[in-house]
A and B are shown apart, each in its own frame.
Chain A
């Protein structure tokens, strides 16, 4: 990491975070930081804990040890005096409002129209007026190129369109950090591009922090400020995309990149 980023407060910080599923250690005392506005892509073999990092941040997965900070505040804990105690639901709700997540399986609400998917949470959670939420919803649909699909139901859309709705839905809550959990892995190959284009547009927004887990290496190289290679619950290697993709230092990184970039060899 360069000196400029070191001096700022990271918006996301993992401090020796341990996550276990039974006996399996998914995150092994993970230290990890993301700066405000930074676009970070996590790559690595399956089971290396990539998605778990996002799911912990979205409070879908609890941690077993260590502390996660979002915006300087502990996520899964809260301060009592100078001691950290497990977070209350109220604290989690407050912390969660800073984050938005895009799921591999889209997870749109199938019984609601596209527009309703986008207005439900802003109206119910943020207390935005219905007309205002619709207005903003339509703007977001415009941004993802789906303004004409507002009154359709998710199953009437293609996978790529559904995922674009998923992105718009997360953005409707005005998060500071966007988490993308393999957003194109469930898509037919010809639909991947339209979703990546939307994410690329978002990446140009300087305020938005983005954390992306993907297998689309060329895309990761284009949009990321930093690439983190995860292996066995730790960051094995990280750096600028050019460095990681052209001159990886670790053998493990080299082997992984070779396998995913030239799968025919």
Chain B
């Protein structure tokens, strides 16, 4: 029994059908971790991108160093740090939040690069024209640069959303009951791993395909009006 749901071991089909709702519990947690982690990555990435293009190198360099550090260390180490080391300093977060935060921090390094590349891809002449017309720099950013950068940024961010989803199983090592963790526990308790793990793989495949279609749909339906996208 798990999440109050009994499994039926009378036949393999019955077993698969009976554990499906249990796995869905895990699936919900997986999706929650994905969404929260992605949200953190979006915000934190934006902050990092802003810091990396700051006018002074005393801000720029540390931001770049942090990005490199995050990118070049495994997600698991960051996760362990947040889960085991922070409590030593009196900061204990719930397992789910810790996991989502680790995902968000890891992927903020990537999203910050997406933002930066998207903004830099806007032709230099656009800033010059805005300057020649005396538009304020805030107005230039929000109404000239950003609208041209967003169609480049969104699809790339969508790809990282899929990546985050595929990284969620790592959170099972810090007791987050996401889908893979749930499947493993079912296996531990029933002695049968093949069916729950296969089902997780299948569910992941379905989710990834749906998400990929979503990203492609966004890519082709975002307003681009004459923007040259490479």
- The answer to whether A and B interact is yes
| A111 and B226 form a contact (CB under 8 A) | yes
Report which of A107, A108, A124, A153 forms a contact with B135, defined as CB distance below 8 A: A124
Bound-complex Cα distance A156 to B123 (A): 19
Report which of A96, A100, A107 forms a contact with B126, defined as CB distance below 8 A: A107
Given contacts A103-B125, A107-B126, A110-B148, contact A124 B132 (CB under 8 A): no
B143 at the interface (CB under 8 A from A): yes
| A107 and B125 form a contact (CB under 8 A) | yes
Which residues 108-147 in B have Cβ within 8 Å of A in the complex?
123, 125-126, 128-129, 131-136, 139, 143-144, 147
Given contacts A107-B125, A111-B148, contact A170 B132 (CB under 8 A): yes
B218 at the interface (CB under 8 A from A): no
| B132 and A60 form a contact (CB under 8 A) | yes
Q: Closest CB-CB distance, A183 to chain B, in whole Å?
A: 14
Which residues 44-98 in B have Cβ within 8 Å of A in the complex?
none
| A109 and B136 form a contact (CB under 8 A) | no
Q: Which residues of B contact A85 (CB under 8 A)?
A: none
Q: Indicate the size class of the contact surface on chain B.
A: 20 to 34
Bound-complex Cα distance A110 to B144 (A): 9
Which residues 142-163 in A have Cβ within 8 Å of B in the complex?
153-156
A50 at the interface (CB under 8 A from B): no
Given contacts A59-B131, A124-B135, contact A109 B144 (CB under 8 A): yes
B221 at the interface (CB under 8 A from A): no
Interface of B is mostly: helix
A39 at the interface (CB under 8 A from B): no
A120 at the interface (CB under 8 A from B): yes
Given contacts A109-B144, A111-B147, A111-B148, contact A121 B134 (CB under 8 A): yes
| B128 and A107 form a contact (CB under 8 A) | yes
Q: Which residues of A contact B226 (CB under 8 A)?
A: 110-111, 153-156
The contact string, 1 if C-beta is below 8 Å from chain B, for chain A 73-104, is: 00000000000000000000100110111010
Q: Which residues of A contact B135 (CB under 8 A)?
A: 120-121, 124-125
Bound-complex Cα distance A58 to B226 (A): 27
Bound-complex Cα distance A144 to B144 (A): 24
| B134 and A125 form a contact (CB under 8 A) | yes
Q: Which residues of B contact A121 (CB under 8 A)?
A: 133-135
Q: Which residues of A contact B147 (CB under 8 A)?
A: 111
Bound-complex Cα distance A121 to B135 (A): 6
Q: Closest CB-CB distance, B11 to chain A, in whole Å?
A: 60
Given contacts A111-B148, A120-B143, contact A173 B227 (CB under 8 A): no
Bound-complex Cα distance A185 to B15 (A): 74
Q: Which residues of A contact B133 (CB under 8 A)?
A: 120-121, 125, 169-170, 173
Residues of B bordering A, CB below 8 Å: 123, 125-126, 128-129, 131-136, 139, 143-144, 147-148, 223, 225-227
Chain A to chain B: the 4 pairs with minimum beta-carbon distance, closest first: A155-B226, A121-B133, A107-B129, A107-B125
15 A-B residue pairings within 8 Å (CB atoms): A59-B131, A96-B131, A101-B132, A103-B125, A103-B128, A103-B132, A107-B128, A110-B226, A111-B223, A111-B225, A120-B143, A121-B133, A121-B134, A124-B139, A155-B225
Further contacts, 9 of them, CB under 8 A, given A107-B129, A110-B227: A96-B131, A100-B132, A103-B129, A107-B123, A107-B126, A111-B226, A124-B135, A153-B225, A156-B226
Residues of A bordering B, CB below 8 Å: 58-60, 93, 96-97, 99-101, 103, 105, 107-111, 120-121, 124-125, 153-156, 169-170, 173
